[in-house]
Structure 1
Amino acid sequence: MTYSPLFLSLKVAAIATIIVFISGVLLARLFARKHFRGRSVLESFFLLPLVLPPTVVGFGLLYLFGKSGPLGRLLLDWFHLQVVFSWVGAVVAAVVVSFPLMYQSASAAFQNYDQNIENAALTMGASKWKVFFTISFPLAWPGLLAGLVLTFARALGEFGATLMLAGYIPGKTDTIPLAIYFAVEAGHTEKAQMWVIVIVALGFCSILWLNWWTKRNLLPFTRQK
C-alpha cells in the first residue's frame, strides 16, 4: 500500500489553488470595476468549465498541451516541459476546472461592499494597489476565503480532465480520484474504500472549517445589527 496518491493530490491541489486564487482574484477585481464591450463573452469563457463535462475539458486541454498542440509544442521547445502524462498536467487540469468557483466567489465578494470607500481613498491620494491591499482585499476576504476553500476541494477531487491530460501512471500521476477508479477496475475494493474515506474526510473537514470560520467571524457583526 503506497500513500503517493495522497501526497500527490495535496501537492496538485495546493499548487492549483495558489495559481487559481491569484489569477481569479485579480481578474475578478478587474472585471468588477471595468465595463467594456465583450466582457460578458470573456466571463462566459471563464465559467465554461463549470458546465462542460470534464472529459470535454480534458480533450480541449489535451489538444492544446499535446506534443503537436500549440501550447504543448511551445512549452516543450522553449522550456523542455512536457505537460501530458505528468503531474504538471494534473495541475493544469485542476486549475482549469476549479477556476470558475474562485472567479465567481471573488466577483461576488468585490461587488458586495460599498465602492465609495475605495473612491474616497483614491480621492485622498492613495494608489490603486494600496487601496486594493488595505481596503478592497480585507473587505472582500470572507468571500475570497470561501472561494479559496472551494477551489482547493474541487482541485483535490478532479478526475475527468486529469485522466484525459495526465493519464494514470502509478507514483507519477496517480491522484486519489484516479487511484479510486483504477482500484475498483482492478477489483481492489478495500483499497478503493480507503481512498474514498480519505478524500471524503478531506473535503468534509474543509467545508466544516469554512462554516465554522464564517459563523465565528460574522456572528458578532450580525448581533450588533
Structure 2
Amino acid sequence: MNDQFWVPVKLSIEIASTAVIFALLFGVLAAFWMTKSSFRGKTVIETVLLLPLVLPPTVVGFLLIMIFGSQSPVGKWIEDLFQQSIMFTWWAALIAAIIVAFPLMYQSVKTGFRSVDPDIEAAARIDGANNWQVFLFITIPLSIKSIISGTILAFARALGEFGATFMFAGNIPGKTQTIPIAVYIALDSGNTSLAWMFVITMVLISFVMLLITTIIK
C-alpha cells in the first residue's frame, strides 16, 4: 500500500516540478516577446499558444502521438537518436505536463508584463540601462506576483493532468503512473480506499496552491 500510494505521488510532484521549470522559461520568453512586439499574425500565434487551455486533454494526447509517434518524422528522428520511442516514457509524461501547463503560465506572466508602466522602463533606459537590464531589474521585479501566480497555477495544472498523459505516456507504475491515472486505476480495480487517499492528497495540494495564489494577490 505504501509504494502504491507514495510512488505515484512522488512521480507526479517530480514531473509537475520539472514541467513548471520549462513552462516558466518558455512562458516568460513568449510573454515578453508578445507584449513587446507587434507583427502580422500576432493574434493567430497567441491563439495557438493558448489552444491547449481549451482543447480536450484527449485531443492534446492525440496530437502529441501524431507529432512524436513512430510514424512521424519527429518520432523517427528521436528513435534514431535515442534508440527508443519517446512514447510511454517519463519524458512523454513530462511533455504532456509542459503542454497543458504552459498556457496558464504564459497568460499570467503576460498580464504581469502588461501591468508594468512603460514610463518606468523608459526612465531606466534614459539612465543608461540596456534592454536586458531593464527586463531583468525592472520588468521582472514589477511582475513578480503574476509570475509566482502563474508558476503555482501551472504546477497545479501539470499535477492534475490526466487525458494527454494517459494517451501519450500510458500507465506504467513507477514511470508514467501519475496521481490522476492512479486514481482511475484504483477506482477501476475496486480499491476505493487507495483512490480516496489520492483524491484527498490532490485536494489538499490544490487547496494550498490556490490559497497561496489568493494571498499573494
TM-score normalized by the length of structure 2: 0.95
Deviation per CA, 1:185-222, whole angstroms, max 9, x where unpaired?
Answer: 111111111100111111111111222333xxxxxxxx
Q: What percentage of aligned pairs have identical amino acids? A: 46
Q: Which residue of 2 aligns with 1:217?
A: none
How many Å separate the matches in 2 of 1:4 and 1:80?
A: 27
Shift of 1:80: 4.0
Deviation per CA, 1:47-94, whole angstroms, max 9, x where unpaired?
Answer: 111111100010000111112222222222224463210111111001
Q: Which runs of 4+ in 1 moved over 6 A?
A: none
Q: State the aligned residue count.
A: 214
Of 80, 85, 88 in structure 2, the residue corresponding to residue 77 of structure 1 is 80
Assess if the C-alpha contact under 8 Å between 2:145 and 2:216 holds in 1: no
Q: Which residue of 2 aligns with 1:126?
A: 129
1:82-161 mapped onto 2 (5 Å cutoff): 82-161=85-164
What is the Cα-based RMSD across aligned positions, in Å? 1.2
2:185 match: secondary structure: helix
1:154-173 mapped onto 2 (5 Å cutoff): 154-173=157-176
The residue type equivalent to 1:44 in the other structure is T
For the pair 1:43 / 2:46, whether they are aligned, the reply is yes
Deviation per CA, 1:125-180, whole angstroms, max 9, x where unpaired?
Answer: 21211111100000011111111100000000000000010000112111000000
Unaligned runs of 5+ in 1: 215-225
Unaligned runs of 5+ in 2: none
Of 58, 61, 70 in structure 2, the residue corresponding to residue 58 of structure 1 is 61
Of 24, 46, 67 in structure 1, the residue corresponding to residue 27 of structure 2 is 24
Q: Which residue of 1 aligns with 2:14?
A: 11
Shift of 1:7: 0.6
How many Å separate the matches in 2 of 1:57 and 1:38?
A: 23
The residue type equivalent to 1:161 in the other structure is A
